[in-house]
Amino acid sequence: MGFMLDAVNSSAAERLGRRMGLSFVGSMPEEIRNAKRLKVQYYCPGHCGWHISGQTKLFQTLRPEEIGMSVNERWVMQPVKSISGLLVAGEMDIHRFQPAFSFCKDCKEHKCVKRLLLLENED
């Protein structure tokens, strides 16, 4: 039961990040969206070439303690199923990269590849 609930929560967090990106693009004036064919991707520490230790700098900058979020010395957030990251808007080319960072060999999920495929097929 615990494993199933963890999987559901993880999936929901992924969907939330994706929906935030789509909402961000949808809030832009149409002429900007169409002129550049903007794609928005969310990037978070631990994925897409951003080492999980990036949580420290992100939390120092955003100060989410004000809304009850924290990060420990191992970069684990509380509440556990929280998401952090950045939305990056631009043409598709800025989102393309090879997952060849030093820590990619230890990755078992390859979410960055799945996210890129979703972004490529969007429209």
Length, in residues, of the chain: 123
**Residue among 25, 65, 56, 26 nearest 41 (CA):** 25
Rounded-to-integer distance, Cα 51 and Cα 66, Å: 24
Note the pLDDT tens digit of each residue in 47-90: 777 888 999 999 999 999 999 999 999 988 898 777 888 888 88
Q: What is the DSSP letter of 39?
A: E
pLDDT value at position 72? Answer: 92
3-class DSSP state for residue 113? helix
Domain ranges of the chain: 2-120
